Amino acid sequence: MHSVITATGSHIPSVRVPNEHFLGHDFRGADQKTIDKSNADILKQFESITTIRERRYVPDDLDTSDIAFDAARKALQSSNIDPEQLDGIIVAHNFGDVRAGSQRLDLVPSLAARVKAKLEIRNPFCPAWDLIFGCPGWLQGVIVADQMIRAGDAHRVMVIGADTLSRISDPHDRDSLIYADGAGAVVVEGRETNDGVLSRVTRSDTLEHSGMLFMGTSYNPEAFLESLFLKMEGRKLYKYALNHVAGTVKEALDRAGVHLRDVKKVLIHQANGKMDEAILDAVYDLYDAGTPSPDVMPMTISWLGNSSVATIPTLLDLLVRGELEGHAIHAGDIIVFASVGAGMHINAVVYRWV
C-alpha cells in the first residue's frame, strides 16, 4: 500500500502587492532607529536577494480558515471525491485565524474543525486537527497522512496548508517584505501501487536553532504597544538551510533507492529565491552532478511571495493544472518535496507521480 496524491487545490489571494507599495513605509532596524537608506534602495536590494517582486494578501473579509476551506473545496471538486469519504483533515498553519486589523490569534476551535464544518461533513469518524510545524507543516501533514495510511488507520486524508502572514508581519521590519498569504490542499489516498510516496525524512534541530524564527515586538513599539510579530534571524537561517537541507534531501533519496539523476522536479518551500537556488546547488554538489537544469525547480516566489505552509501545495496545484509555463508533471516522474522553517525543522519526501 502506497500513499498517492489524488487531488489538488489552492487559493491564491486576490490582493496583489508589488514592491512599490512599500516605497512610503517607515522601515526601522532592531535598534528601533530609521534605516539610513532610501526605501527605493532597500527594495532594490531586497528583490536582488529574494527575487520577490510582488506578493498576495487576503482581503479584510477573509481569514486563514476561509482560504483553507476554499483550497479544500477546489481539491475535492477537481477529483469528484465525496467529502464524507475522508478519514481525516489536517490543516497545517502557524497562527490560526488572525482578524484584519488585529494581531490576536484565534485557534479555538481548530482551523481543521472549521474547515470540516464549512465542508458540511457529517462523518464523525473523520477527525480534524491542526499541525503546527513552521513552514514545513504542510509537508509534515503529508508525512503524517502517509503514516496513517500505511498503518491502516485511514484510506483518504485531506492535507491543507494555509497562512495569512500579512497579518502578523511588522510593517516597520523590512524582513516582513518576504511574507504573503495563501492556501493549498491535497487529498492523500492509499492505493495498491508502487508509485506515490517512496520515502520520507524529518529532522528537528531545536537545541541550538529554535530561536531563529520567533515572535517579537515591532521595531516601532510606539505604534504597536503590546503586539507581537513574526521575526527572524535571516543570516543564521540562511546558513542553517544551506548546511542541512541538501543532506536531508539526499537521505530521503537514499532511503528511496533513487539517484538524483532520476529526479524530474524538486518542489521546495518558496522561502527565498536565492536561498532555494543555493540549496538546489548544494544537493547537486553532493552528487557531483554539475549545474541543475532550469526546469528542475519551478518557482513562484517572485509573484506569490513566501506564504509559509501554502507554498508547496500551491506550487503543486499550479503544476497539475498546467499553469506554470515550461513545467509539467508526467506519470512516472520522480519528484522531491522539501521544506525548512521554524523549529528549526526540515523535511523531505520522495514521490513517484501516478
How far apart are the C-alpha atoms of 259 and 249, rounded to whole Å? Answer: 11
Query: What CATH number labels 198-352?
Result: 3.40.47.10
- CATH 2.130.10.30 assigned to 2-196: no
Where are the domain boundaries for CATH 3.40.47.10 in the chain? 2-196, 198-352
Q: What grid cell was written down for 157?
A: 486524508
How far apart are the C-alpha atoms of 291 and 285, rounded to whole Å? Answer: 8
How far apart are the C-alpha atoms of 338 and 251, rounded to whole Å? Answer: 12
Q: How far is CA 320 from the centre of its chain?
A: 17
- Could you read off the pLDDT tens digit of each residue along the chain, which spans 354 residues? 899 999 999 999 999 999 999 999 999 999 999 998 999 999 999 999 999 999 999 999 999 999 999 999 999 999 989 999 999 999 999 999 999 988 788 999 999 999 999 999 999 999 999 999 999 999 999 999 999 999 999 999 999 999 999 999 999 999 999 999 999 999 999 999 999 999 999 999 999 999 999 989 899 987 776 788 899 998 999 999 999 999 999 999 999 999 999 999 999 999 999 999 999 999 999 999 999 998 999 999 999 999 999 999 999 999 999 999 999 999 999 999 999 999 999 999 999 999
Task: Determine the pLDDT at residue 16.
Answer: 98
Q: How many CB atoms lie within 10 A of CB 259?
A: 12
Taken in order 158, 5, 250, 326, the sign of the CA dihedral is: negative
| Surface-to-core class of residue 60, CB atoms within 10 Å of its CB (0-12 exposed, 13-18 middle, 19+ buried) | exposed
Q: Global pTM?
A: 0.95
Q: How many CB atoms lie within 10 A of CB 270?
A: 29
Residues 6 or more apart in contact with residue 207 via CB below 8 angstroms: none
Residue matched to cell numbers 538546489: 280
Give, in order, the Cα–Cα distances in Å from 113 to each of 18, 57, 146, 198: 34, 24, 21, 30
pLDDT in tens, 57-103: 999 999 999 999 999 999 999 998 999 999 999 999 999 999 998 87
Q: What grid cell was written down for 249?
A: 534531501
Q: Which residues pair with residue 204 across a beta bridge?
A: 345
For 174, list phi and psi in degrees, rounded to 5. Answer: -65, -25
